Amino acid sequence: MKYLDEFRDANAVHTLVGRIHELTTKDWALMEICGGQTHSLIRYGIDTLLPDKISLIHGPGCPVCVTPIEQIDKAIELAQRPDLIVCSFGDMLRVPGSKADLFFAKANGGDVRIVYSPMDAVRIAQNNPDKEVVFFAVGFETTAPANAMAIYQASILALKNFSVLCSHVLVPPAIEAILSSKENRVQGFLAAGHVCTIMGEEEYSPIAERYHVPIVITGFEPLDLLQGIYTCVKQLEEGRYEVENQYDRYVRQSGNIPAKMMIEKVFHIISREWRGIGSIPKSGFGIRNEFSSFDAEHRYQFLSERGQENSECIAGQILQGIKKPHNCPAFGTHCTPDRPLGAPMVSSEGACSAYYNHRARKR
């Protein structure tokens, strides 16, 4: 398959691995931000090919995993209301709230529907004028333009029965939170290529300068990741701290201007709670006042109290890169994809599911 097989070429992989081994003289700890990158690293065993001096730390780049538990509870509460349809991407349905998940709500009679685009939810609202329709919007900057467009389109259509439960989070503030932590040991970052396709490179340069860390924008295939690792280690070995773009076949310095304009039209920056991590200032998108009639937080009164994470789950430490999935006593025993204690085990981008599916039997 053109443009895919080329980035999985075994000979090229071994050549690049050899160059990384030749380059590395010191101990370095790198964090990949995106959960999709984590899955590729573990699926292809890339971490096992690297020099022992290079440690890969898995970051909080799984938007499903960091969606606050109280937002899950709110979505479940909405699904239990008569004459209301909750629309969500499929990977949110198995994520545990404080007591249940959206699949449980659906099994108990709630009208929960899987959609593949937020515009699907808009169409459902159009086709069901006698019901309220709420779209559960999660994600990083990658999904924000489409979610913003759904709200904007609903306003043009003057839909009275459509709203959005918004739980968008942003990558750069999370990077700064990690670098500011007393437990931080990350020396370089592999930034998420799809996020930067939307937002560009510009907002990462101040972070690289302020914290003296290289940030390499990286894709998701084996050669993408290895090139990103090579570039990051090369900077560290040379004492440089810059933003470099490995994923230049998609990412432009200023990003996708029309997409960013749509985000700015509908959303504004707010502080967000991150599941297992806590509140991070200016780390999320909220819906602007001009579109508040489409904000489920304004439209509905919620009874749910602040939920508590399962005491056995160490997802917060995993999401911050402090521990890895196999360090959790519940991993693969009390916590499996069929019966998850925390979001990283059930999400398709969660670190725990990556280790369970591609590494569990080896540990």
What pLDDT, in 10s, does the model give residues 180-190?
A: 999 899 999 99
In a domain, 271, yes or no: no
Measured CA to CA, the distance from residue 207 to residue 179 in angstroms comes to 9
Whether residue 104 is contained in a domain is answered as no
CATH number of residue 31's parent domain: 3.40.50.11750
Q: How many domains does the chain have?
A: 1
pLDDT score recorded for residue 347: 87
Asked, for residue 234, whether it belongs to a domain, the answer is: yes
What average pLDDT does this structure show over 29-35? 95
pLDDT at 351: 93
Residue 13 is part of which domain span?
Answer: 5-62+171-245
Give residue 103's identity as a one-letter amino acid code. F
> What per-residue confidence (pLDDT) applies to 122?
98
Domain-embedded: residue 16:
yes
The percentage of the chain sitting over the pLDDT mark of 90, rounded to a whole number, equals: 82
Residue 164 lies in a domain: no
Q: pLDDT band for position 363 (50/70/90)?
A: very low
- pLDDT for res 2: 65
Q: Using the predicted structure, report yes or no on whether residue 280 has a pLDDT greater than 90.
A: yes
What pLDDT is recorded for position 362?
43
Q: Is 11 exposed, middle or buried (0-12, 13-18, 19+ CB in 10 A)?
A: exposed
Q: What is the pLDDT of residues 307-353, one digit of tens each?
A: 677 788 898 899 888 899 989 999 999 899 888 888 899 888 899 99
**Which residue in the block uniquely carries the two structure tokens 């990949």?**
32
Q: What is the mean pLDDT of residues 64-74?
A: 92
